[in-house]
Structure 1
Amino acid sequence: MERIGTPEQLRAWLIANELGSADMPASESLLRDARALREAIHRAGTAMAAGGVPDPVDEDLLNRWTARHRARLILTGGQAKWHLPETDSTRAARAVVALDTVATLGGHGEGVIKRCEQRTCGGLFVDTSRGRRRRWCSTATCGNKVKKANLKATRDGTEPGLTGG
């Protein structure tokens, strides 16, 4: 969510992730709440990627959002989908994000939450690869940047920077 700068972009992100609809209200207040949630998620994930535990303040924020959860997971067409109550779909959408975060951070073994090794990225990801050797949030973007930088360094006769880009 770090690239979401306006309430309309947040609504578009929620819709793209099947957590919202075109008639969902978008406001600065919603964006502020989403950013606070996003920052708590990022701090908690960063702590876990470094082998630590989340700050209790961030855990509390995540837990408060999960307690507000009114959405439910339903099976439709053979796929699990979130059903958000019509009473406050924006609150339910943020609760779903918090629930997914808690499940992801708390449900995987140590070392699975990682920080992208591409030096200008800093994004977090869940490494589900065999052997847990994945290094970048996305091979298509960050991985390719590093590989291109290393190839260029090799051609130029300089030392390749493994986390370049």
Structure 2
Amino acid sequence: MTEDVRRVFRMDNEVLAFRFTATLSDRAGMAPRERLTDPARLKMWLQATGLDATDVSLTDLKDAVELREVIYRIGSAIAAGEQPDSKDVRTLNTVAAAGHAKAALEGDLAGWHLTETTPVGDALGVLATDAIHILGGPDRSRIKNCEGPGCAGLFLDTSRGANRRWCSMNTCGNKVKKARLAGS
């Protein structure tokens, strides 16, 4: 029996690197929930995002979790108007530079070709590069942490007034609205 990727992971963030950081959810809650519990889960997440790494080891999982946390710390620092830690920035740049994935158009869809020798490293390179583009791009000032109860997930506020408060209206926004209605 295979698990449904949408039941295991939140896949609703439009920024790939921030979708990756959501593999640890409820960050500000009492008990954060790790969703990358084993190499098979990492493989599942990578496949769901078009980064089809075939073999995933425990070392790959460790490297992925480290990259995820680096992206999260840098994004949260930017959201708070602070300078990211220089060690985290070096790690992000190193992971991006180590990847050898090639973008490819296949039919109507953009995809990635990973090398046979380092597919997970290539996939992590794609994630790091995506993070660099968003964390250092023109919309950097629109990076926010979700204000939803317990969430604190990263998102890019693309609203006209730059006043979005939740990573997703379907999850965190609805929780807040339901709580308000229950309290009225």
TM-score range, shorter chain: 0.7 to 0.9
Which residue of structure 1 aligns with residue 36 of structure 2? Answer: 4
| Aligned partner of 2:48 among 12, 16, 30 | 16
Q: Which has the larger radius of gyration?
A: 1
- Tell me which of the two structures has the higher relative contact order, counting C-alpha pairs closer than 8 angstroms and 6 or more residues apart: 2
- Structure 1 letter corresponding to 2:40: E
1:37 matched to 2:67? The reply is: yes
Which residue of structure 2 aligns with residue 117 of structure 1? Answer: 147
Query: How far apart are the structure 2 equivalents of 1:69 and 1:31?
Result: 16
- Structure 1 letter corresponding to 2:46: L
C-alpha displacement of 1:79: 3.1
Gaps of 5+ in 1: 155-165
Which residue of structure 1 aligns with residue 31 of structure 2? Answer: none
C-alpha displacement of 1:110: 4.3
Query: How far apart are the structure 2 equivalents of 1:59 and 1:144?
Result: 34
Whether the 8 Å contact between 2:70 and 2:92 is mirrored in structure 1 is: yes
Whether the 8 Å contact between 2:104 and 2:110 is mirrored in structure 1 is: yes
C-alpha displacement of 1:39: 0.7
Whether the 8 Å contact between 1:51 and 1:110 is mirrored in structure 2 is: no
Which residue of structure 1 aligns with residue 15 of structure 2? Answer: none
For normalisation by structure 1, the TM-score amounts to: 0.86
Whether the 8 Å contact between 2:134 and 2:140 is mirrored in structure 1 is: no
Identity %, equivalent residues: 47
Aligned residues: 152
CA deviations 1:47-85 (Å, max 9, x no partner) are 011112211010000000111121121223243222212
Whether the 8 Å contact between 1:74 and 1:83 is mirrored in structure 2 is: yes
Query: How far apart are the structure 2 equivalents of 1:104 and 1:76?
Result: 25
Give the 5 Å matches for 1:65-84: 65-84=95-114
Whether the 8 Å contact between 2:104 and 2:112 is mirrored in structure 1 is: yes
Whether the 8 Å contact between 1:66 and 1:99 is mirrored in structure 2 is: yes
Query: How far apart are the structure 2 equivalents of 1:69 and 1:28?
Result: 19
Query: How far apart are the structure 2 equivalents of 1:131 and 1:110?
Result: 15
C-alpha displacement of 1:132: 1.6
Query: How far apart are the structure 1 equivalents of 2:92 and 2:42?
Result: 19
Give me the CA root mean square deviation: 1.3
Gaps of 5+ in 2: 1-22, 25-34
Which residue of structure 1 aligns with residue 133 of structure 2? Answer: 103
CA deviations 1:132-151 (Å, max 9, x no partner) are 22111111110000000111
- Structure 2 letter corresponding to 1:83: H
For normalisation by structure 2, the TM-score amounts to: 0.78
Query: How far apart are the structure 2 equivalents of 1:108 and 1:12?
Result: 31
Query: How far apart are the structure 2 equivalents of 1:84 and 1:27?
Result: 16
